[in-house]
Structures are given as structure tokens and as C-alpha cells.
Amino acid sequence: MGTVVDMRTAIPAHPWKIIVHFARREDGGLRAWCDEIPGFALSHTDIDAVLSDVQPALEGILTYQLGERYITTPLCDIRIALEQQGVIEPTKADRLPEVVEYVAQRAA
């Protein structure tokens, strides 16, 4: 998982926005990372594998690092956002969305 940073003092008690960055790999796959969440980085040749792993990976890392269960919800449909930007359309356009936003909150 990489270096784990104690985020307990930096995270507010109310929901907050997390920005996940996406970039196409040279082999046609996809990478995802978040500068604000230490240890969060995904990469695979299968785009759907990356997309399906984003939410559970964020939740697992946040829960581990913060010591409480956290849930995340994308603020838009990731697949639709990537298709609108031409990332996963058959034409394989070069334009990528720079970010996809999530909201994180302490689980009830």
C-alpha cells in the first residue's frame, strides 16, 4: 500500500470531496490516483477493472488510515464521464478527463 500517513488530524468530521485523477496508459489501460489519499493508486490494462476498483479502494484506505469506516460516492458516473471525454470510446480519443470527484463521509 505504500507509506501510510496518519490523516486523522487533517480530515474534517463532515463529508468532503476527493479528486481522483485518471490517465491513459501507453498500452491502452488506465491509471487512477489521488494526491490527497496516500497509498491510493490503481493501474490495469483493463479499464473496467480500474473503474470497478476505485470506490472500494478509496473506502478501504480511508477506513484503515482514519480508524473508522468511511464510504465514498462518485459525484458523477465514472464510465459516462470517461466516455464523454473520449477515453473509452472505440475511437480511443486522446482527450482524458482530468479528474473525477468523489464525496467521502463517515459511515453511519
More confident residue, 107 or 34: 34
Q: CATH for 16-106, among 2.60.120, 1.10.15, 3.30.160, 1.10.10?
A: 3.30.160
7-41 burial: b if 16+ Cβ within 10 Å, else e? eeeebeeeeeebebebebeeeeebebebeebbbbe
Q: Are 65 and 4 within 8 A, CB to CB?
A: yes
The pLDDT value given to residue 106: 82
Give 1-4 contacts, CB < 8 A, sequence gap 24+.
1/39, 1/61, 2/38, 2/39, 2/41, 3/38, 3/39, 4/38, 4/39, 4/64, 4/65
- Region 15-26: mean pLDDT is 89
pLDDT at residue 101 greater than cutoff 90? no
pLDDT digits (tens, 9 = 90+) for 4-18: 445 555 656 678 888
Domains of the chain, by residue range, sit at 16-106
The pLDDT value given to residue 7: 59
The pLDDT value given to residue 60: 95
Sign of dihedral through CA atoms 34, 63, 61, 10? Answer: positive
The pLDDT value given to residue 3: 44
* DSSP category for residue 1: -
Mean residue pLDDT of the chain comes to 79
